[in-house]
């Protein structure tokens, strides 16, 4: 039978030893926000690359996000709302990732030494994820701010003018590589961490995951480069008319002919 003093002496150290659940919660929040951002990026790349189909296709997708086909007129504010959500998620994900950055030169060089010694691909991939993530702090923030504040300036001519005449293409070029490498590595690490697609042979499963990861990164980088080239081509052709809004072919054809000044009866 236990005495009161025994109970006190056993519960106090046990309470002190109890681990906080917060590191696990923060880790889960980081994984979940990364997954949502990764999936968003796949959609984003497909929507933006609609310019490869035609300028009209890109215009229609832009207007769909502005609610044009639901309300009968465009509300660019809807795009700002979506951007705000993505921006908040992006900042939260970056803040959570900060916990894992090396915080001193000592930590930095210890990791580099460790990486060189181990020559383990996953350890090196983590290093790339830190650097690409760091680059995105700046590059993606600028892009998101532009989209947040000028949601109505998205379209075949509007985007192409920004990319070429607005000289955004160097930023997009670096951001494209950063986001596709970061996203690919991130999703691969998520799959390994949470044991997705394990299969019978863990090593073979990991090899397949790695192939899938590289495949996805290469696919989206090639798609992104082709898309960027398309905006640059339109931007160069349109550089003398910067600011002109795109009007889709069917609206141009349907537009009433220039009003005739001829009055009935033939008089002018
Ligand atoms: C809701 C939020 C977002 C919207 C509405 C949006 C919209 C766009 C649009 C319209 C373009 C075409 C170029 C232009 O108009 O300037 C573009 C390009 C691009 N965006 Fe975003 N974006 C968003 C979020 C992001 C995020 C979070 C990233 C990366 C972290 C990103 C990375 C890129 C890249 C790399 C390009 C160049 C695309 C290419 O080369 O194919 N965007 N975005």
- Whole-number Å distance between alpha carbons of 152 and 243: 12
Q: pLDDT band for position 165 (50/70/90)?
A: very high
> Both tokens of residue 139?
């590059």
Distance 183 CA to ligand 1 centre (A): 14
Residue 215 has pLDDT above 90, yes or no: yes
Gap from CA of 96 to ligand 1 centroid (Å): 23
CATH class of the domain defined by 22-244: mainly alpha
pTM reported for the whole predicted model: 0.87
Lowest mean pLDDT among 70-84, 131-145, 199-213: 199-213
End-to-end CA, the chain: 115
Residue in 97, 139, 143, 180 to alter for ligand 1 test, most ligand atoms within 8 A of Cβ = 143
What pLDDT does 15 receive? 57
What token pair was written down for 45?
């790349």
Closest of 184, 160, 157 to residue 172, by C-alpha: 160
Q: Greatest CA separation found in the chain? A: 117
Distance of CA 244 to the CA centre of its chain: 28
**Per-residue pLDDT, 265:** 40
* Average pLDDT of the chain, as a whole number: 88
Phi-psi region of 13 (alpha: psi -120 to 50; beta: other; left: phi over 0): alpha
Other Cβ atoms within 10 Å of 52 Cβ, number:
13
Q: Where are the domains of the chain?
A: 22-244
Flag whether pLDDT at 257 surpasses 70.
no
Residue 260 clears pLDDT 90, i.e. is over it: no
**How far does the centroid of ligand 1 lie from the alpha carbon of residue 155, in Å?**
12
């Amino acid at each position: 039978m236990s005495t009161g003093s025994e109970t006190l002496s056993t519960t106090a150290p046990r309470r002190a030893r109890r681990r906080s659940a917060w590191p696990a919660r923060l880790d889960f929040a980081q994984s979940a926000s990364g997954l949502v951002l990764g999936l968003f990026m796949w959609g984003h790349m497909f929507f933006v690359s609609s310019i490869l189909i035609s300028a009209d296709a890109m215009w229609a997708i832009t207007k769909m996000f502005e609610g044009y086909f639901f309300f009968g007129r465009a509300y660019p504010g809807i795009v700002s709302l979506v951007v705000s959500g993505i921006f908040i998620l992006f900042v939260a994900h970056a803040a959570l990732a900060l916990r894992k950055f090396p915080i001193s030169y000592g930590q930095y060089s210890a990791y580099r030494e460790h990486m060189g010694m181990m020559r383990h691909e996953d350890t090196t991939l983590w290093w790339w994820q830190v650097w690409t993530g760091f680059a995105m702090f700046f590059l993606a923030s600028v892009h998101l701010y532009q989209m947040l504040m000028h949601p109505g300036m998205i379209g075949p001519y509007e985007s192409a003018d920004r990319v070429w005449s607005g000289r955004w293409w160097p930023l997009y070029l670096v951001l494209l590589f950063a986001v596709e490498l970061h996203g690919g590595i991130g999703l691969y690490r998520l799959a390994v961490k949470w044991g997705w697609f394990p299969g019978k042979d863990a090593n073979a499963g990991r090899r397949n995951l790695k192939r899938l990861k590289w495949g996805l990164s290469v696919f989206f980088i090639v798609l992104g480069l082709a898309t960027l080239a398309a905006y640059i081509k339109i931007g160069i052709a349109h550089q003398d008319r910067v600011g002109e809004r795109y009007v889709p072919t069917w609206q141009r054809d349907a537009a009433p002919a220039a009003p005739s000044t001829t009055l009935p009866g033939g008089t002018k």
